[in-house]
Amino acid sequence: MAVGKEIRTQIKSITNTQKITKAMEMVAASKMRRAKERMDATKPYAQKMRNVISHLAMAHPEYKHPFLQEREVKRVGYIVISTDRGLCGGLNINLFKEAMNSMETWHEQDIPIDLCLIGAKAEAFFKRIGNIASSVSHLGDTPHLDTLIGTVKVMLDSFYDGSIDRLYLVENEFVNSMTQQPRVSKLIPVEPSDEDELKHHWDYIYEPDSKEVLDGLLMRYVESLVYQGVVENIACEMSARMVAMKAATDNAGDMIDELKLIYNKARQAAITQEISEIVSGAAAIG
Amino acid sequence: MAMTMHVDVVSAEGEIFSGTAEEVFIPAELGEIGVLPRHTPLISRLKPGEVRVKMSGEETSIFVSGGMVEVQPHVVTVLADTGIRAQDLDEARALEAKARAEEAMQSQEDTIEFAKAKSELLEAMAQLQMLEKIRKKAR
């Protein structure tokens, strides 16, 4: 029977799409689990690093590091961490919106902005908007700190030589697997923490000297924050994709149900018509 | 009981060691140092080498390719690097990042991606149109 052939093909093609989105959902779910583990693995380092930095802020080295000093803002830098691939709902767009909001306040004051972009989506979005100082993309699912060093160094160097006076980090925060929150935070100058132990006057022994040690430490501190942001972003990407693909699968299911209903109606109408034709034909003969 | 201190060895990509120790040997940049509990606060760069953690006669050794160490009277924190760091190596990496940025600025609209998105849109529109048609027919 030739009834509703196009509907049948339509149903078949949607079923195929549904299979793909279902598979993507499951892949994203398993990748998210691993990404979350990696994200948790980065926490001890960042935690220890924060401890050491807050101790340092309490100590009294003779060398005042530029990263610890506020200065007048003439130019700012932004590090934006995005994903490489799409199909993850509004994750990137929400992040870019947040970034643009934050940049707007600088635009109003006529303060130029340098960008450091991580991820292909950010590159594609910001290349028409701002001045890109450095960028890196296609880090894969298991990023390594090594690949970020150069990208971050460009920004740190421009802070050292005074071409930027503040550095912000724009990243996604992994709240839970359903929620990701875009966040803009100030990387440098480093905000002193208000821990209240160790208040008395004391200092470290620095080897080789306080400048070298502080340089190395603060560089690693910023790098570790950026690295953590990248790892966290992957967990966000995967969970956002999981949610998006789940919605797509559900929508495909709804569409199939609707089409099936239409198809069955058409089929029944055709049968009824045929029966009435036969009956009326028989009546005409009889 | 012998005095002990807490030792943490962490790298950016994960925790490597966490536990108590009676003595730790650290490959500091100016030479290997042995740290006992109640050491005066010290902060130093590391050179590639072995961190050896001694506890009740047993020694655990961990290789680090560099990093930083912070010594507090009862806590030793080793912040290990995950790769080899050197001034000129970092410099080269920075240059690469800059080059990538320029490339990103210059590359025209992602023509492939644009075309792909457009064709997907057209397809979706066609599907919607068809669905509308079928719906009308069914009524």
User: Average pLDDT of chain B?
Assistant: 81
Q: Quick one: A80 exposed, middle or buried, by C-beta within 10 A (0-12, 13-18, 19+)? A: buried
Q: What is the DSSP track for A45-58?
A: HHHHHHHHHHHHHH
Read off φ and ψ for residue B78, nearest 5 degrees.
-105, 120
Please tell me which of the candidates A123, A146, A223 has its beta carbon nearest to residue B104.
A123
Of the pLDDT bands very low, low, confident and very high (cuts 50, 70, 90), residue A53 is confident
**A259 near A14, Cβ under 8 Å?**
yes
Task: Spell out the domains of chain B, with CATH numbers in brackets.
Answer: 5-86 (2.60.15.10), 91-138 (1.20.5)
**A61 near A206, Cβ under 8 Å?**
yes
Rounded to whole angstroms, the Cα distance separating A11 from B72 reads 68
Rounded to whole angstroms, the Cα distance separating B6 from B75 reads 5
* Tokens linked to B47: 């050179």
Q: Do B13 and A206 touch (CB under 8 A)?
A: no
CA A132 to chain CA mean position, Å:
19
Lowest mean pLDDT among A194-203, A232-241, A270-279: A194-203
Amino acid in the structure at residue A223: E
- Rg (alpha carbons) of chain A, rounded to whole number: 29
Rounded to whole angstroms, the Cα distance separating A32 from A28 reads 6
* Tokens linked to A4: 């509703």
Mutation site, B134, B136, B139, interface A, largest A CB count within 10 A: B134
Collapsed DSSP state (helix, strand, coil) of residue B55: strand
pLDDT tens digit string along A135-148?
A: 888 888 888 888 88
Our CA-based measurement puts residue B138 at a distance from the nearest CA of chain A, in whole angstroms, of 6
Of the pLDDT bands very low, low, confident and very high (cuts 50, 70, 90), residue B78 is very high
Of the pLDDT bands very low, low, confident and very high (cuts 50, 70, 90), residue B114 is low
- E strands in chain A: 76-81, 113-118, 131-136, 166-174, 180-188, 205-207
Q: Residue A199 has what pLDDT? A: 56
Of the pLDDT bands very low, low, confident and very high (cuts 50, 70, 90), residue B112 is low
Contacts of A167 (CB under 8 A, 6+ apart): A76, A77, A78, A79, A155, A156, A159, A186, A187, A188, A222
Rounded to whole angstroms, the Cα distance separating A135 from A119 reads 8
Rounded to whole angstroms, the Cα distance separating A240 from A91 reads 7
CA A49 to chain CA mean position, Å:
23
Name the residue among A30, A245, A35 with its Cα closest to residue A139. A35
Amino acid in the structure at residue A27: V
Rounded to whole angstroms, the Cα distance separating A223 from A211 reads 18
Mutation site, A15, A36, A39, A146, interface B, largest B CB count within 10 A: A146
Higher pLDDT, B92 or A7: A7
Rounded to whole angstroms, the Cα distance separating B9 from B66 reads 12
Query: Quick check: A268 contacting B, CB < 8 Å?
Result: no
In the block, tokens 């953690």 appear at B53
Taking each helix axis from N to C terminus, what angle separates A210-285 and A145-160, rounded to the nearest 10 degrees? 120
Predicted complex: ipTM over 0.90: no
Of the pLDDT bands very low, low, confident and very high (cuts 50, 70, 90), residue A11 is very high
pLDDT tens digit string along A252-278?
A: 999 999 999 999 999 999 999 999 999
Q: Which residue of B has its CA nearest to A265?
A: B138
Q: Residue A189 has what pLDDT? A: 84
Helix (H) or strand (E) holding A113, with range, is strand A113-118
User: Average pLDDT of chain A?
Assistant: 88
Q: Residue A66 has what pLDDT? A: 84
Collapsed DSSP state (helix, strand, coil) of residue B108: coil
Of the pLDDT bands very low, low, confident and very high (cuts 50, 70, 90), residue A196 is low
